[in-house]
A and B are shown apart, each in its own frame.
Chain A
Amino acid sequence: MNSAAVAIKSIDLDLSHPNILWVVMPFMAAGSLQSIISHSHPNGLTEPCIAVVLRDTLYALSYLHGQGHLHRSAITTSSSSSSSLKFTDVAGTPYWMAPEVIHSHTGYSFKADIWSFGITALELAHGRPPLLHLPPSKSMTNPSKRPNADKLLKHPSFKNRKGTDFLVKNVLQGLPSVEKRYKESKGNLHEDDDDPSMQVKQRRISGWNFNQDG
């Protein structure tokens, strides 16, 4: 057993599995891009940084689609140590989910991943998902009009772009570690816990009295 740090996540899949799943995965020290953006870039990333993230996402989608896999809601995460982006997913997240997946009328195709890619691009630019104030299913669009990943990679935005090191330098440098960011948000939560009514430990209720007392 080597001493490399790993992330161990307990997943309560809300009744879809009888046991808690423990997923061991490479430890992405910088955490998700979403948490990085909300912490340090609330108004979104600069265009060159966005292009790096999106290009690497497209390479991943192109590879997966070539393998015949669909990835129903695609988003990226990052690691500061290895200077690489890893491709993860947000299962069941309606804001990244293509409308034809939500409605599941005729099944879905690789175009569903392109929808999620588009939402991610907008979130990187604005700092939050678009159309947050609208029910997700109302933002319908026609899957047949979306290009595929390979076609998108030919777009000028992704040519002659800087490498991932550029992203590390401009987004991750100086960023507190994911543990510290978590403790900061945890600390905020803890202040709310100073409410005396929430300090009361819950005492187990003993048996009920169901006897008829007339």
Chain B
Amino acid sequence: MKSLFKPKPRTPSDIVKQTRDLLLRLTSRDDDNMPDLTKNLRDLKSILYGNSESEPVPEACAQLTQEFFADNTLRLLIQYLPKLNLEARKDATQIVANLQRQQVQSKLIASDYLDTNLDLMDVLVSGYENTDMALHYGAMLRECIRHQIVAKYVLDSPHMKKFFDYIQLPNFDIAADAAATFKELMTRHKSTVADFLSNYYEWFFDEYNSKLLESSNYITRRQAVKLLGDMLLDRTNSAVMTRYVSSRDNLRILMNLLRESSKSIQIEAFHVFKLFAANQKKPADIISIFVANRSKLLRLLGDLKTDKEDEQFEADKAQVIKEIAALEPRDLA
């Protein structure tokens, strides 16, 4: 209790140290610490985010960040989050999120800390299996994977397969949070994603097709076909795209999505479907499907329209129609 008699105001560094001490004492069942801990977390959040009277002070933020990562305060905060009350959990989540973006002498020291403490990501990802913790850990995770080294760790981990289940959890809030994290993982660090998709192409797209694109859940299908388009249209993923649009099974799935009653899904499916048509090295079985369904495809595409006029969409559609109409059975030779 000696620290309680220190003259105020306490420095940001002091607050971090005291917070760490209070977290350590949570291991013993001393609930009397909770009000002090809650207040400390609120104070730390005020330093990082400012409040109605003042803006954040860069020097104070840097000092706080430096002290936070000089020891294992982040580890303690993540591990003991379940013991905190709801308000403290929310403040802690915002603190951790903010710290991922704080620079100390132009350096993101959070990234250095996480590089040597990557096991903390295992805790955060597994949070999706805990209803009470999922949204807090999910928000922290999404900020942490902004660091390339962390994103790579998660992508290469067994957790990736679990995302296909997390995205469809019956608790919609948690499913939506997992979907947001999954999208961030698959789009932010482009060269890392390209390596991931090339290395794990087989199981990843098997899961993607069967669990997401062919899900019975409308939301899941719609999100999945949109994200698929974003991934395949990214220039860094061109090798993966070429491989994906050479598969007859993939074409079947996309053509079925084109027939959906939801126009939103149809439009998103078109953005992927056009890549099959544009492929200048179409395999014979792809050409065969196009020729066999030519009249239906041309009718469906002719009727497909966006709500607002979209010149690029119309140009793409015209190109696809032209490509399909021009296919000759002899192209099968």
Q: Interface residues, chain A, CB within 8 Å of chain B? A: 15-18, 65, 68, 105-107, 109-111, 143-144, 148, 198, 200, 202-206, 208-214
27 A–B contacts from the bound complex (CB under 8 Å): A15-B176, A16-B176, A18-B172, A68-B52, A105-B101, A106-B49, A106-B50, A106-B61, A106-B101, A107-B48, A107-B94, A107-B98, A109-B50, A110-B52, A200-B303, A202-B303, A205-B258, A205-B259, A205-B296, A205-B299, A206-B296, A208-B259, A208-B296, A211-B292, A212-B288, A213-B288, A214-B288
Tell me whether chain A's interface is mostly helix, strand or loop, or mixed: loop
Give B258-294 as 1s and 0s: 1 = Cβ < 8 Å from A's Cβ atoms. Answer: 1100000000000000000000000001001100110
Q: Which of A105, A107, A209 sits near B293, CB closer than 8 Å?
A: A209
What's the nearest-Cβ distance from chain A to residue B253, in Å?
11
* Contacting pair B303 A210 (CB below 8 A): no
How many angstroms from the CA of A109 to the CA of B94 in the assembled complex?
14
Q: Which of B55, B176, B292, B300 sits near A209, CB closer than 8 Å?
A: B292
B-chain residues with CB within 8 Å of residue A143 when the two chains form the complex: 55
Interface centre among A109, A110, A144, A198 (most CB of B within 10 A): A109
* Contacting pair A109 B52 (CB below 8 A): yes
What's the nearest-Cβ distance from chain B to residue A209, in Å?
5
B-chain residues with CB within 8 Å of residue A16 when the two chains form the complex: 176
* Contacting pair A212 B285 (CB below 8 A): yes
Report if B56 contacts A (CB, 8 A): yes
Q: Interface residues, chain B, CB within 8 Å of chain A? A: 48-52, 55-56, 61, 94, 98, 101, 172, 176, 219, 222-223, 248, 252, 255-256, 258-259, 285, 288-289, 292-293, 296, 299-300, 303, 305
What's the nearest-Cβ distance from chain B to residue A207, in Å?
8
How many angstroms from the CA of A4 to the CA of B1 in the assembled complex?
62
User: Assuming A16-B176, A107-B98, A209-B289, what are 20 further A-B pairs, CB within 8 angstroms?
Assistant: A15-B176, A15-B219, A68-B52, A106-B50, A107-B94, A109-B50, A109-B51, A109-B55, A110-B52, A143-B55, A203-B299, A204-B259, A205-B299, A205-B300, A210-B248, A210-B289, A211-B292, A213-B288, A213-B292, A214-B288
Q: Which of B94, B176, B256 sits near A208, CB closer than 8 Å?
A: B256
Residue of A nearest to B332 (CB): A214
Residue of B nearest to A198 (CB): B305
How many angstroms from the CA of A126 to the CA of B288 in the assembled complex?
58
* Contacting pair A109 B292 (CB below 8 A): no
What's the nearest-Cβ distance from chain A to residue B2, in Å?
33
* Contacting pair A107 B252 (CB below 8 A): no
How many angstroms from the CA of A205 to the CA of B294 in the assembled complex?
12
A-chain residues with CB within 8 Å of residue B303 when the two chains form the complex: 200, 202-203
Interface centre among A109, A144, A205, A209 (most CB of B within 10 A): A205
A-chain residues with CB within 8 Å of residue B285 when the two chains form the complex: 212
A-chain residues with CB within 8 Å of residue B222 when the two chains form the complex: 15
Residue of B nearest to A65 (CB): B52
Contact (A208, B223) CB under 8 Å given A106-B56, A106-B101, A203-B299 = no
**Which 5 pairs between the two chains have the least Cβ-Cβ distance?**
A107-B49, A144-B55, A202-B303, A209-B292, A205-B300
What's the nearest-Cβ distance from chain B to residue A58, in Å?
15
* Contacting pair A106 B292 (CB below 8 A): no
A-chain residues with CB within 8 Å of residue B223 when the two chains form the complex: 15
Q: Which of A15, A210, A214 sits near B252, CB closer than 8 Å?
A: A210
A-chain residues with CB within 8 Å of residue B252 when the two chains form the complex: 208, 210
B-chain residues with CB within 8 Å of residue A198 when the two chains form the complex: 305
A-chain residues with CB within 8 Å of residue B299 when the two chains form the complex: 203, 205
Residue of A nearest to B248 (CB): A210
How many angstroms from the CA of A105 to the CA of B299 in the assembled complex?
47
How many angstroms from the CA of A105 to the CA of B98 in the assembled complex?
8
A-chain residues with CB within 8 Å of residue B248 when the two chains form the complex: 210
A-chain residues with CB within 8 Å of residue B55 when the two chains form the complex: 109, 111, 143-144
How many angstroms from the CA of A148 to the CA of B50 in the assembled complex?
14
B-chain residues with CB within 8 Å of residue A208 when the two chains form the complex: 252, 255-256, 259, 289, 293, 296
